[in-house]
Structure 1
Amino acid sequence: MEGMTRAEVDKVENKDFALGAGPKRPRDAATLILLDRDGRDVRVLMGRRHMRHAFMPGKFVFPGGRTDPADSRIPVAAGLHPDVESKLVNARTTVARARAIAMSALRETYEEAGLLIGRKGAFETGKADWAGFAENSVCPSLDRLRFIARAITPPGRVRRFDTRFLAAFKDDVAVELPDGGPTNELEEIVWLPISQAKEADIPAITRTVLGDLEAQLKEDPELSPGCPAPFYYMRHNRFCRDVL
């Protein structure tokens, strides 16, 4: 997608997003790429969004969603690795905001897939969104998260997000709920080899990020905290790629 004009990107993504007039400021969001290394191929967790959604209807996506600033106040067993935090923090994103973004990836993975990432131990909260962690004695932990990519939805969409793609390994899942998560935003949750995931019905930006991730895993199978992370955005009518 790098170097495409806005018209070319609109054509590629015409089935991914509902278009809408007027400027819209992107909202912070996070998504979690959960990787399973148990086998010959690295597999990735994906789920299909319901057709009723205006944003990426019917597409296979990673668990994720909009950031809730209140998530920054949820206690954790361990915070972000400094190298990951430094990539999330910028002139417009404070340390607290970066933590909220990362925490939203964990919360959405619980809500949509029923997977609790953290450490077994006492955990209490009055927030209903995190009740599953308390009920299963899992304290959320951010230290194993890796920053993989950032992408801002191009202008002209009904929904626009400034999405941070984070990754973790299936080994980091403390509890897998037998009935899945409490929401029904994703259906047909599956584990797919990355090569197959790239051929599934996924958004163009997801395919681009998966390609970057596949190349990174070949060079750095453990995904070191300071690994390069591409940043995709539209500027002067061109889709750009920087490296953070």
Structure 2
Amino acid sequence: MARATAETTRRADGHEAARATAPASTAPDRRKAALRPRNAATLIILDHAGRVPKVLMGRRHQGHKFMPGLFVFPGGRIELADRHMPVAGALNDRAEAALSTRVTRPPHHLGRALALASIRETYEETGLMIGTTAYGPPETTPDGPWAAFREAGVMPDLEAVQFIARAITPPQRPKRFDTRFFAVTRAAVAAETTGIVGPDAELTELAWVSLKDARALDLPRITAIVLDELENRLAAGFSPMLPVPFFREVRGRQTREEL
């Protein structure tokens, strides 16, 4: 073990005194570099055909290390295949611009890949396919979950997708994500595969709930915040041209910007 050393200092009365100092190398380093957040996407499916708008929520499996047992919107990280999946329609220019804002050197087609990730993750977790059957099946699809869209004759339709919020997990968390929240109406569901949700699946149950009832569920904090933003967006007409809120921690303080 390293030993303390004596350091001579001069007091105000002119006399010298010695004090023990620990070598700098033995001082504990309390600083820990924050994990770099990974790009992720979430999809809110909104049913506002009735008097009271409803959203689709899913309960995460209790065995998950990340947010076990909480109700969330389906979503997850971008995968390589998301960059190569054919689509029908495109994100509107307002969404594309907002998705590239506050991003250092955004990769080509970042917005497209994020929107497709939200659609793929929604299918993997709920069995719901967001898209259209009007153009027939895509001629080719990447291997993996996207093949189910070809088999069902569904093309993912980005024109139906709105970008409504962005949030970055605060530093010093064991997992960090730069999550973009997208939204579609229930009319964008073109097909469904049954048997995806169950006791041993990623989501153990699904529920269509009003915004009021959704807030009463066991939610992650950011999900509750986005529900408030969604309600405000609906009250403002649910236009794709509305500003997009961006939540992150800056110098230890939670902030809300608009993209």
Once residues 136 and 179 of structure 1 are traced to their aligned partners in structure 2, the CA distance between those partners, rounded to angstroms, is: 16
Q: Could you tell me which of 126, 136, 149 is aligned with 2:165?
A: 149
1:176, CA displacement in angstroms? Answer: 2.0
State the alpha-carbon separation in 2 of the partners of residues 63 and 95 from structure 1: 25
1:77 matched to 2:92: no
1:216 equivalent in structure 2: 233
**CA–CA distance in 1 between the matches of 2:244 and 2:156?**
24
Identity fraction in percent: 46
Residue from 126, 133, 145 that aligns with 1:113: 126
Report how far residue 69 of structure 1 moved.
3.7
SS of 1:151's equivalent in the other structure is strand
Tell me, yes or no, if structure 1 residue 202 matches structure 2 residue 202.
Answer: no
Query: Map of 1:94-105 to 2, 5 A cutoff?
Result: 94-105=107-118
RMSD: 1.7
**TM-score (norm: length of structure 2):** 0.81
Q: What's the offset of the Cα at 1:181?
A: 6.3
1:185 correspondence with 2:202? yes
Residue 94 of structure 1 and its aligned partner are, at CA, apart by 3.1
User: Residue 164 in 1 paired to residue 180 in 2?
Assistant: yes
CA contact (8 A) 1:110 1:181 kept: no
Q: 1:58-109: CA deviations, max 9, x gaps?
A: 1000000011143121110112111111111234323422211110000001
Output the TM-score relative to the length of structure 1: 0.86
**1:22, CA displacement in angstroms?**
4.8
Amino acid of the residue matched to residue 231 of structure 1? F
Hey, what does 1:24 align to over in structure 2?
A: 35
- What runs of 5+ residues in structure 2 fail to find an aligned partner? 1-31
1:241 to 1:131, Cα distance in 2 relative to 1, 3 A = same
- Distance in 2, Cα, partners of 1:136 & 1:155: 41
One-letter amino acid matched to 2:50: G
Conserved? CA contact 1:89–1:95, under 8 Å:
no
Deviations 1:26-45 (A, max 9, x none): 00000001001132111000
1:237 to 252, 255, 258: 252
What is the aligned length? Answer: 222
Equivalences for residues 44-59 of structure 1 within 5 A? 44-59=55-70
- Residue identity in the other structure for 1:243: E
Partner of 2:147: 131
Tell me if structure 2 keeps the 8 A contact 1:85–1:95: no
Counterpart of 2:64 in structure 1: which amino acid? H
Contact 2:137–2:152, Cα closer than 8 Å, also in 1: no
After superposition, what is the alpha-carbon deviation per residue over 1:91-135, rounded to whole angstroms, capped at 9, x for unaligned? Answer: 432342221111000000111011101111122314212121011
| Offset of residue 166 of structure 1 | 0.4
- Bigger Rg, structure 1 or 2: 2
Q: State the SS of the aligned residue for 2:160.
A: coil
Q: Which structure carries more relative contact order (alpha carbon 8 Å, separation 6+)?
A: 1
Q: d(CA) in 2 for partners of 1:176 and 1:240? A: 38
Task: Check the 8 A contact 1:138/1:174 in 2, yes or no.
Answer: yes
> For structure 1, which runs of at least 5 residues remain unmatched after alignment?
1-20
Q: Map of 1:86-101 to 2, 5 A cutoff?
A: 86-90=97-101, 91-92=103-104, 93-101=106-114
Distance, in Å, in 1 between the alignment partners of 2:108 and 2:146 is 21
Q: Give the aligned partner of residue 16 of structure 2.
A: none
Relative to structure 1, the CA distance from residue 209 to residue 100 in structure 2 (aligned partners, 3 Å threshold; closer, same or farther) is same
